[in-house]
Amino acid sequence: MPPVTTTLAGTAGPDTSAKAGPAAGPEGCCTPAVGLEKLLDRSGLLLAEAAAATAGVRLPSFDQLPVAGVAEAACVAVPVPVADDPLVPVGLAGPVSVVSAYFQAGMSGAPEQVWLRASASAAVAQAAGKLAAISGGQMGVCVLDGWRPLTVQQTLAADAAAVAGGYVATPSEDPLAPPAHLSGGAVDVTLSWQGRPLALGTGFDAFCQHAHIRSVAPESPAGRLRRLLTAAVTASGFVAYDREWWHVELGTRRWAHHTRQLAYLPAAAPPAG
C-alpha cells in the first residue's frame, strides 16, 4: 500500500502526546492468562510491517481519543429496553474476524460464538471497513470477546483476584448495574494484519501496566497501531478504556458516563439456543 496521507478521524491533528510510559517491547513482557498466550501473533516483525503501512495516515494522539477511566464504569441513567438492541452473533465479513478467546482457552460456559448488541456489532463492522479501506484490504478487526454470561465473569474475576488495577469488573448480579461485558456492549478487539490478530505491545488479558493504552511510545509500532485501532473503533461510536488497549464499549454505563448520554444497556439475556 503506497503511503497516502489520510486522516482517520475528525479529531486527527499533530500528535501532542507528550509522555510515554514504560516502553513495552513489540512482544511485551506481561504474561496473559493460561490458555491465552498464543491467541495473538506476537511477532515484532509483523507489528513493524503493519505499522509501516500506516506511514501516510495521520493518527490522533492518545489524548485526542475518547478514552475512559476505571471510575467511569458507574453511571446513573436510564436502561434501554433489551428488545431495542438485541444480542446478535458477530458476523464474519471480510475485514471482521472472530476468535472467541475464552472458548478457545477451554473456559467452562464461554460461548463458542461472540455475541454483541446489534449496535455494537454494526460499529465493529464499520470500524473494520475503515481499516480495510486505508490498508488496501490488509487490515481489519479481530473480535476476541463480547457478551459474557455471569459464570464466565465470575471465573475471570476469581482468576484475577490477586491482580489489582481494574482489569476485571466485579461480577455484579444486578441487571441494572452489570459488568460491561454482561451488557453485550463491551467488546475486546485487536487489529488484524493479513488475517492475523496482532498483540499490540502485550497479549490479550495481560493484566499489567503495559496493557494501559498510553503505556507505549506513540510513534513506536505498538503505539501507532494502538492509536490506529482506537481511532477506527471510537470513530464508529465506541469509547476506549485506559487500562486495556483491547477493550472498548458502546452503550454501556461507562460509555454513557463518558459521552454524557442518558441511556445505557442493562445486562442482556443469554442468546437463544
Stretch of 87-95, 182-190, 232-240, 254-262 contacting Zn ion, by CB under 5 A? 182-190
Compare residues 130 and 247 and give the one whose CB is closer to Zn ion. Answer: 247
CA atoms of 250 and 259, how far apart (whole Å): 10
Comparing C-alpha atoms, which of 68, 84, 110 is closest to residue 213? 68
Least CB distance to Zn ion at residue 197 (A)? 15
∠ CA(220), CA(130), CA(190), 5° rounding? 50
Q: Which of 15, 72, 85, 188 binds Zn ion (CB under 5 A)?
A: 188
Compare residues 57 and 171 and give the one whose CB is closer to Zn ion. Answer: 171
Compare residues 53 and 268 and give the one whose CB is closer to Zn ion. Answer: 268
Least CB distance to Zn ion at residue 99 (A)? 14
Residues 142-171 that bind Zn ion (CB under 5 A): none
Is residue 58 packed enough to be buried (19+ CB in 10 Å), middle (13-18) or exposed (0-12)?
Answer: middle
| 205 binds Zn ion, rule: CB under 5 A | no
Least CB distance to Zn ion at residue 180 (A)? 7
Residues forming beta bridges with residue 191, ordered by sequence position? 141
Phi, psi of 169, rounded to the nearest 5 degrees: -70, 145
∠ CA(197), CA(199), CA(200), 5° rounding? 115
Compare residues 71 and 272 and give the one whose CB is closer to Zn ion. Answer: 71
Least CB distance to Zn ion at residue 110 (A)? 13
Least CB distance to Zn ion at residue 239 (A)? 12
Stretch of 87-95, 161-169, 188-196, 265-273 contacting Zn ion, by CB under 5 A? 188-196
CB 89 within 8 A of CB 115: yes
CA atoms of 113 and 146, how far apart (whole Å): 9
∠ CA(97), CA(104), CA(244), 5° rounding? 70
Q: Which residue is nearest to Zn ion (CB)?
A: 247
Residues 221-250 that bind Zn ion (CB under 5 A): 247
Please give the size of the binding site for Zn ion, defined by CB under 5 A. 2
Least CB distance to Zn ion at residue 4 (A)? 33
∠ CA(90), CA(93), CA(94), 5° rounding? 140
Residues 73-132 that bind Zn ion (CB under 5 A): none
Q: Which residues bind Zn ion (CB under 5 A)?
A: 188, 247
